[in-house]
């Protein structure tokens, strides 16, 4: 790779010329290199991984995530302190689940109602017969309080009553059934005075 100054008699250049040279930028430096066709051995392992990735991307669009669910996934990504979006974190967890040969159960349509001075009621849609737990706290990075959610034919519900007035709370929900993996992003609500 050659470092160039004023490539092609211009201030900068990018792209290829006749499948022989490629001009571009590398860490802020103008460079030129030989054109190469990337190798793609297309192994069985690659195909399997690509299948996991495709399925995870499709699930992001078809699992029934509401706008509130997407905001929660983005907050989860922000709490991880990595340069990623909620979509990236969802796909990462789905692929890890597929690699571990475990089932993924979508938890969607989270609804926080009856917010009062002492707490709130939280509902989410899951799979009938699952063991769903809610973890909550006053920080998006430390939610150590745990509540089991009651199953009502796939609609899970819990009432948080040990809250303080005018406080912002964070929570996430997980499916702790043995053969399944599932979780949500991080949701928030603020209690009233």
pLDDT value, residue 1: 59
The pair of structure tokens assigned to 144 is 């150590």
pLDDT value, residue 40: 87
Q: Among 94-98, 126-130, 143-147, whose mean pLDDT is lowest?
A: 126-130
All structural domains of the chain: 2-34 (no CATH), 44-190 (2.60.40.10)
Distances (CA, A) of 15 to 38, 40, 150: 16, 21, 58
The answer, yes or no, to whether residue 3 has pLDDT greater than 70, is no
**Mean per-residue pLDDT, 21-48:** 89
**Mean per-residue pLDDT, 56-84:** 94
Terminal Cα distance for the chain, rounded: 64
Q: How many CA atoms lie within 13 A of 97 on its CB side?
A: 22
The answer, yes or no, to whether residue 132 has pLDDT greater than 80, is yes
* Look-up of token digits 């989410």: 124
pLDDT value, residue 4: 65
pTM: 0.80
- Higher pLDDT, residue 3 or 125: 125
């Amino acid at each position: 790779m050659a470092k160039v100054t004023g490539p092609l008699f211009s201030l900068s250049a990018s792209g290829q010329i006749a499948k022989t040279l490629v001009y571009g930028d590398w860490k802020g430096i103008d460079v030129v290199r030989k054109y190469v066709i990337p190798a793609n051995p297309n192994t069985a392992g690659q195909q399997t991984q690509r299948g996991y990735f495709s399925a995870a991307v499709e699930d992001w669009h078809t699992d029934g995530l509401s706008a509130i669910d997407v905001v929660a996934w983005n907050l989860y990504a922000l709490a991880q302190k990595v340069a990623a979006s909620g979509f990236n974190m969802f796909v990462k967890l789905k692929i890890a689940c597929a690699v571990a040969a475990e089932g993924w159960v979508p938890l969607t349509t989270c609804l926080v109602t009856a917010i009062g001075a002492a707490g709130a009621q939280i509902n989410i849609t899951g799979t009938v017969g699952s063991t769903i737990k809610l973890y909550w706290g006053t920080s998006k990075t430390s939610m150590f309080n745990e509540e089991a959610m009651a199953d009502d034919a796939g609609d899970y519900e819990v009432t948080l009553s040990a809250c303080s007035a005018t406080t912002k709370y964070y929570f996430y929900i997980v499916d702790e059934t043995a053969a399944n993996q599932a979780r949500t992003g991080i949701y928030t609500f603020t209690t009233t005075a």
